[in-house]
Amino acid sequence: MPVEVTWWGHATATVRDSGVTVLTDPLLVRRLAHLRRRRGALPPPEVAGADLVLVSHLHADHLHLGSLAKLAPGTRVVVPRGAPRAVPGLRRLAPPLELIEAAPGDEIAAGPVTVRAVPAAHDGRRLPVGPHIAPALGFVVTGEERTYFAGDTGLFDGMAEAVGEVDTALLPVGGWGPFLGEGHLDARRAAEALARLRPRSAVPVHFGTYWPVGLDAVRPHEFHSPGAEFKRLAARPAPEVTVHLLEHGQSVRLEANR
């Protein structure tokens, strides 16, 4: 059975593997504070009907309470360990949601699929202020294939060893503003991450969706170009990796090869 990956925009994607639907960092609204969705239709309502939801860190564009509230009652949501303590609004969603706190190395089963939390090099605090009490995470979804969702991360020593062998990597290649701070991957650094991880395929995410209101003309290439730039740059250090540059709402089917 092929594994299907659908990119909905920003860090929100659906991974369907072995009959299990996994949703990453759901952001299902047109406007978030000073950010507005500039490209791509909102994900359809059925996206919220996932079997398992993965939240990589506490930033509001990844742990978005309004989007989590759209999930079906009883949905299992994996969050960084300490997230309910750091984000009071998250506690008010459980129940009806089932929150599962995870740290690097923890594994969560969903039918025939296993999800392993892995480290990420990112300041995952709830901004603008907040204590460092919940780690930023990536996740490896293992069923017919091994799919790595990086969340938000920079390059870090031991990255390949921490993530392990993967077939497909969903890598952030941009952001939501003119400048990327420390703890992020731009197109060049994402290409280097690809060379370290050596998956068979990759899908660039976290670009070309949300942008601050009033800054449309400020460094517009940082909004439009990261996906294509990543695909171009990845061809040199990792020519054996197939990069699938998806449009919003577009899917790719990946034949299992294990």
**Residue at 214: amino acid letter:** G
What are the pLDDT digits (tens) for 177-221? 887 777 889 999 999 999 999 999 999 999 999 999 988 888 888
Cis bond leading into 178, ω under 30°?
A: no
Q: Which of 97-106, 120-129, 209-218 has the highest mean pLDDT?
A: 97-106
Q: What is the dihedral of CA 173, 180, 84, 118, to 10 degrees?
A: 40
Pair of tokens at residue 203: 């899908």
Give CA–CA dist 190/178, Å, rounded: 17
- CA of 217: how far to CAs of 96, 178, 208, in Å? 42, 10, 14
What are the pLDDT digits (tens) for 131-170? 677 899 999 999 999 999 999 999 999 999 999 999 999 9
Pair of tokens at residue 3: 């594994």
- CA of 85: how far to CAs of 102, 132, 230, in Å? 13, 11, 37
Nearest to 62 by CA among 116, 113, 26: 26
Task: Give the global pTM.
Answer: 0.95
Pair of tokens at residue 225: 């170009």
